[in-house]
Chains A and B, each alone.
Chain A
Amino acid sequence: MKTVDARGCACPQPVLMTKNAMARDNNVEVLVDNNTAKNNVERFAKNQGATVTIKAADAPDEYVITIEK
């Protein structure tokens, strides 16, 4: 599984990094630290037909988004 650390990245980096990772791997894990990035990455992945699960990480406002194509 490819892990993408998009924490602290400005828009649209989280989605762009996810897009690039999904082009190379079927299973991608994306780390984000705000709701906007979480929603954007989730929407992008679902639009690509992937299955998306989101879990809250240990740190406040951080999420782990698991994407499976």
Chain B
Amino acid sequence: MMLRIGGGDLNAVIGLVGFALGIGCGIIALNQGFSLDRAYKVTTGEAYAFPIMQVVFLVVLVAVPTILMFSTEGPGSMHAPIIISLAAGLIVGALCQKTRFCTVAGIRDSIMFKDFTLLIGFASLIGACIVMNLIVGKFHLGFEGQPIAHSDGVWNCLGMLLVGFASVLLGGCPLRQLILSGEGNVDSVVTVIGMTVGAAFCHNFGLASSGEGSTPNGHIAVILGLIVTVVIACVNIASNKKKAGA
């Protein structure tokens, strides 16, 4: 979403509105008493398992790519040279870890605590994208003709509303969850695995949108996702209130 806004895609701005609304829903849940149970320290082996697995995947990709399946057409078939992706990932990952970058926390903390620290980071990323896209001539402001994007505002908004809402309940945006998984946070590892499985579901069951628009299956999935998230929030809040009253 941030990269799209940086390219001038106004459809992503609609998504940002939904994202902020979703974060607002999450804030309501937090203020009503939503909280995850306390986490406990895990063993060193458990903490390193996921980062080591990522290194193994990288080795497999470089050494024996023939055992993997690759898309042959469409956006999934396109990728940068591995060395560039790896270098960029290492730099961005380190910077995000040191700065505790989180897209959700920027908006959430600004509303809840009047703390604009992380919002500055969020805005800076978008600003840097805009500047770079202007320099290389890839900035095109508008709704139409944006790369692999549709202009279905309602579902852009609702889809990102679900992301914002769920991310607040999780305690961090998808990028933050990825960074935390690298820090040894096993809860975040489970979240990242969930996101990966969710992405696979999207592409295998016709949920994913494309430049041609959103899909009916995708609409159903978003509605179901919103219902499930609301139920999770309500059950958690009720349970916490019961424990507090006991």
Contact = CB atoms under 8 A, between A and B. Distances in A.
B115 A44 contact: yes
Interface size class of B (residues with CB under 8 A): 20 to 34
A12 B105 contact: yes
Given A7-B38, A36-B100, A12 B117 contact: no
A10 interface: yes
A44 B114 CA distance: 9
A40 B159 CA distance: 29
Interface in A6-33: 7-13, 15-16, 19
Interface residues of A, number: 15
Contacts, number: 45
A11 B105 contact: yes
A69 interface: no
Nearest to B38: A8
Contact of A47 (B100, B114, B170, B187): B114
B113 interface: yes
Contacts of A36: 100
A8 B40 contact: yes
A39 B118 CA distance: 13
B35 interface: yes
B68 interface: no
Contacts of A16: 30, 112
Given A13-B35, A15-B112, 7 more contacts: A7-B38, A9-B38, A10-B170, A10-B187, A12-B113, A15-B113, A47-B113
Interface of B: 30, 35-36, 38-40, 100, 102, 105, 108-109, 112-115, 117, 170-172, 187
Q: What 3 pairs between A and B have smallest CB-CB spacing? A: A8-B38, A10-B171, A8-B39
Interface of A: 7-13, 15-16, 19, 36, 39, 43-44, 47
25 contacts: A7-B38, A8-B38, A9-B36, A9-B39, A10-B36, A10-B39, A10-B171, A10-B187, A11-B102, A11-B105, A11-B171, A11-B172, A12-B30, A12-B112, A12-B113, A12-B171, A13-B36, A13-B171, A15-B112, A15-B113, A16-B112, A36-B100, A43-B117, A44-B113, A47-B114
